[in-house]
Structure 1
Amino acid sequence: MAGFVDAAGFVALFGLFTSHVTGNFVLIGAELVSTSSGVIAKLLALPAFVLAVAATRLIALALERRGIAPLRRLLALQAVLLALFCIAGLALAPLRSADGPDAILVGMLGVAAMGVQNAIARLALAHLAATTVMTVNVTQAVIDAVDLLRLGKARAGAARGRLGRMLPAVAAFAAGAIAGAFGVAHLSFGCLILPIAVLAGLIALPERADAP
């Protein structure tokens, strides 16, 4: 989902990363020494991201005080924000300028949605591999692969377990990024229906008694 939304947003929003604050910092630096546009949207992405993460944390705390597991509610919040991202993008398309008010509004909705996903990964899914930051996953996967080859299966059980968590996350992100790029090229913001449907499916899954 993160790869899909990030790639779709990058293509449709003139190079704006919806999930990666680091990427936007790099693009700000690049654009400040070039003649291209888009600096305003990338600058606004940081406070939008921070506010989304902070709001997600506050909502999670409020739910936990009431004895309610927050994961489903937070997934629903992300689905709503993605739906607004999709609707605003379709309603305001074609976006003509990276720093136009229409592109900024659409972009900040996307950033907010992915800010929620980043927060969910830390608050409710911390036992899994990161879903949005692949640099850490790839680095750890390479280290664990080297350890597994050098130490053998008997001595590298922890590395084998981590590798089993990291590789599916990296593969899923890569597949999502390719799908998102093709999706936005053919369906514009309508392609966001797919990640919204994935969220709806996750919300509908029955809870496991042993779920953390």
Structure 2
Amino acid sequence: MIAERNTLRVSRSLAIPDSVQARQKAFMKVWQDIRIVTGVLSWVAGYVDTAGFLRLNSLFVAHVTGNLVVAGAELAGAGEESVWVRLGVIPVFIAAVVLTTVITRTRNPRLSHLLWFEVVALLFFSAIGIAMIPQTKLEVDVRSMFIVGSAGVFAMGIRNALMREVFSNLPSTTVMTGNLTQFVIDVSRFVLIRDYQRMETPLAQRQELQQRIGRMGSAVIGFVIGAACGAFFMREWGFWAILVPAIAIALLAMDTQRQESKMGSGE
């Protein structure tokens, strides 16, 4: 009995606040086609992560935990010069998540404002990269790697927090392992196993599978295309290339702002 009470108390303390739930419902109203939004957000994450990886000595700015793997390899003797940078960006990531969570849960901002927050962070990433690592600079020292990399990690830390706090209806847009796994499982069920036909509501189950395949597929495809674009444009333009994903999120923010205005005016 005591255990049940404790479990209930913990579950209540971990429950999503009404304000966050309301924002998630508003998110569903503003963005009607989840597949397009998922594709755009995943494209940006793949773009930024690959661009940063190529120019910042294999530093991950979106898939931050990948830096722990590289740091472990460096500690094992594969080169130790930049290990402190890979570990040092973790607190930066944590700070971005904490700040975004505080803003989201205490200030109750609009969806468009949260997207603009990411835009500003991406613009700062681009600006400091242009200033410290010009395209003519072939070798990136660890100091520049840490400062510029921290700016990129902070921007993507904002995104990772938003995916949990606001956009939880979407698949992950920064890490594709879970998305690809779910995509393959659902395609296998839909094409090979067809187990939905044996359920109580086969049509509803079929629709759910199709919708999830669309969401997961758009995330994976968007990320891969974004990675290819990030590699190409970073090689051609240097850190000016980060303006491209910043513009993409800005366009999404403007469209969201327009939809919010329509909802506010009752149209």
- Structure 1's consecutive aligned runs of 4 or more residues displaced over 3 angstroms after TM superposition are 95-98, 152-156
Aligned equivalents of 1:86, 1:72: Cα separation in 2: 21
* Per-residue deviation, 1:4: 0.2
Aligned to 1:20: 63
Identify the structure with the greater helix proportion: 2
* Per-residue deviation, 1:127: 0.8
Over the matched positions of the two proteins, sequence identity in percent amounts to 37
Instruction: Please tell me the residue identity of whatever aligns with 1:207.
Output: Q
User: Gaps spanning 5+ residues in structure 1: where?
Assistant: none
CA separation of 1:141/1:192 partners in 2, compared to 1, >3 Å: closer, same or farther? same
Aligned to 1:46: 90
Aligned to 2:194: 151
* Per-residue deviation, 1:188: 0.4
Normalising by structure 2, we get a TM-score of 0.73
* Per-residue deviation, 1:21: 2.3
User: Gaps spanning 5+ residues in structure 2: where?
Assistant: 1-43
Aligned equivalents of 2:250, 2:48: Cα separation in 1: 16
Aligned to 1:60: 104
CA separation of 1:138/1:40 partners in 2, compared to 1, >3 Å: closer, same or farther? same
Is the Cα–Cα contact under 8 Å of residues 14 and 98 in structure 1 kept in the other structure?
A: no
Q: Superposition RMSD on alpha carbons, in Å? A: 1.8
Aligned to 1:134: 176
Which runs of structure 2 are paired with 1:197-208 in the superposition (5 Å)?
A: 197-205=247-255, 206-207=258-259
Aligned to 1:111: 153
* Per-residue deviation, 1:152: 6.2
State the Cα deviation string for residues 159-205 of structure 1 (Å, max 9, x = none). Answer: 22211110011000000000001111110000011011011101111
Aligned to 2:47: 4
Aligned equivalents of 1:199, 1:25: Cα separation in 2: 28
Instruction: Please tell me the residue identity of whatever aligns with 2:48.
Output: V
**What SS does the corresponding residue of 2:259 show, helix, strand or coil?**
coil
Aligned equivalents of 2:151, 2:138: Cα separation in 1: 15
Aligned equivalents of 1:122, 1:35: Cα separation in 2: 35
Aligned equivalents of 2:194, 2:48: Cα separation in 1: 38
* Per-residue deviation, 1:102: 2.0
* Per-residue deviation, 1:98: 4.8
Normalising by structure 1, we get a TM-score of 0.91
Aligned equivalents of 1:160, 1:27: Cα separation in 2: 37
